[in-house]
């Protein structure tokens, strides 16, 4: 595996950060490692002598992410945000939910994000991932959390499982993954956010993290005059949900945000999940069909940049699950990327994600070179977006755009 020593040979005494695709771990050069306060943190890989190797996970990696975000030139950051907006337009995407992790990027970056998105036609709902509820309310946000971590990821050996990983993590990380929050901390966050009328999202991948989220919402619901379903609180990922988890989430009225490409890229008996957990547990993950049949409110997305911001790639994944009975049919896959995704963030008002001559709704639509409902999975992957309109205004392609 890559180490600080290997990076040092390439970059010398310079600060260097190499981030894993899942954004839950990284490798840093010795120069950057020396800058970080890692005392008492889980997820600091060490060698046989107990010396850090430079591989950092979760909170240990967070300081490195923040260091680089703070030191990127502001104009470079603005250019990156504008490029992300253009990418969304090119894929026919009219709205995104931005999971803004304050610990990584800081409050100043949040202001910049608001400035750039205010200039664009793209409909952006920002979920500040922070426990500072008062500040979020003061800034006028109606959503909080999003990727408010209860655990990590399988690629980084940090998703929180009830039973240990079959492929153990390196020394420095717990055998069951990393738990972010105590039950008391999470209950306080859920209860206070709910009482303030803010929609909450949390990141829960492993079965232990999902259990913690559900158990805590059940406690909040028991002590609340209004059911927690009224605000549409959501769970991101929900990858290792059992039958019991699915039933309890539906009873609570929670919304589930799924990432179909996770199964396409890492599922099955030969993929990353099977290497980490074994085939039995891997084949019980990302149960899209089971969730749909149970009546859960579902929406689909990409977790970009973890998987591509490409709804056609995601729809293909929904239609071709490694476990056939967990696949969805074409119209269900399309609905999860339109009505379903808008429904995840909805705070009342008319439903969105569709157009009807008899029901007023924003004219958000994409012109495609083929019909996504009649194609094979392979044909769907080649879909080209000929034009994107948001609220009736053309935004793609650039040569014909009426607004950025």
Domains with residue ranges and CATH for the chain: 4-70 (no CATH), 74-359 (3.20.20.140)
What pLDDT shows up at residue 349? 59
Distance of CA 59 to CAs 22, 105, 133, 187, Å? Answer: 14, 13, 20, 21
Model confidence pLDDT, tens digit, residues 234-270: 999 999 999 999 999 999 999 999 999 999 999 999 9
pLDDT score at 22: 96
pLDDT at 359 over 80: no
Burial class (CB in 10 A: 0-12, 13-18, 19+), 339: middle
Residue 364: name the closest of 352, 374, 375, 376 by CA.
352
CA-CA distance, 249 to 158, in Å (whole number)? 23
Of 32, 122, 109, 111, which is closest to residue 76 (Cα–Cα)?
Answer: 109
pTM, entire model:
0.95
What distances in angstroms separate CA 15 from CA 18, 23, 27, 386, one per listed residue? Answer: 10, 18, 11, 42
Is the pLDDT assigned to residue 203 strictly greater than 80? yes
Mean pLDDT of 130-151: 97
pLDDT digits (tens, 9 = 90+) for 284-301: 999 999 999 999 999 999
User: With bands split at pLDDT 50, 70 and 90, how would you rate the model's confidence at 122?
Assistant: very high
Helices (H), 259-310: 261-266, 272-277, 279-282, 288-293
Q: Model confidence at 351, in pLDDT bands (50, 70, 90)?
A: low
pLDDT in tens, 51-74: 999 999 999 999 999 998 889 999
- Mean predicted lDDT score pLDDT of the chain: 95
Query: 348 pLDDT exceeds 70?
Result: no
């Amino acid at each position: 595996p890559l180490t600080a020593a290997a990076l040092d040979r390439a970059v010398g005494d310079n600060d260097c950060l190499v981030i894993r695709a899942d954004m839950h771990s990284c490798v840093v050069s010795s120069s950057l490692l020396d800058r970080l306060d890692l005392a008492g943190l889980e997820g600091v890989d060490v060698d046989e002598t107990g010396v850090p190797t430079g591989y950092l996970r979760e909170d240990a990696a967070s300081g490195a992410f923040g260091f680089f975000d703070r030191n990127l030139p502001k104009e470079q950051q603005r250019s990156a945000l504008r490029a992300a907006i253009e990418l969304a337009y090119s894929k026919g995407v009219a709205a995104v939910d931005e999971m803004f992790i304050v610990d990584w990027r800081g409050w100043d970056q949040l202001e910049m994000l608001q400035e750039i998105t205010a200039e664009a036609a793209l409909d952006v709902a920002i979920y500040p991932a922070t426990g500072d509820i008062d500040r979020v309310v003061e800034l006028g946000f109606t959503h909080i959390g999003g990727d408010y971590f209860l655990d990590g990821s399988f690629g980084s050996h940090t998703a929180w499982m009830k039973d240990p990983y079959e492929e153990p993590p390196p020394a420095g990380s717990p055998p069951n993954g990393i738990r972010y929050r105590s039950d008391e901390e999470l209950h306080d966050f859920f209860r206070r956010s709910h009482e303030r009328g803010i929609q909450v999202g949390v990141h829960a991948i492993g079965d232990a993290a999902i259990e913690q989220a559900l158990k805590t919402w059940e406690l909040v619901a028991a002590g609340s005059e209004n059911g927690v379903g009224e605000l549409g609180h959501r769970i991101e990922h929900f990858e290792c949900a059992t039958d019991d988890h699915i039933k309890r989430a539906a009873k609570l009225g929670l919304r589930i945000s799924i990432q179909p490409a996770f199964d396409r890229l890492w599922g099955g008996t030969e993929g990353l999940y099977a290497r980490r957990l074994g085939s039995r547990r891997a084949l019980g993950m990302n149960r899209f069909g089971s969730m749909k049949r149970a009546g859960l409110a579902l929406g689909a997305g990409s977790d970009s940049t973890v998987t591509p911001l490409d709804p056609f790639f995601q729809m293909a994944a929904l239609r071709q699950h490694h476990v056939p009975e967990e696949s969805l049919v074409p119209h269900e896959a399309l609905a999860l990327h339109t009505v379903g995704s808008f429904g995840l963030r909805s705070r009342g008002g008319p439903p969105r994600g569709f157009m009807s001559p008899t029901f007023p709704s924003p004219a958000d639509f994409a012109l495609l070179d083929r019909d996504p409902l009649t194609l094979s999975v392979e044909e769907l992957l080649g879909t080209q977006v000929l034009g994107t309109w948001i609220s009736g205004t053309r935004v793609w392609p650039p040569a014909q755009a009426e607004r950025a």
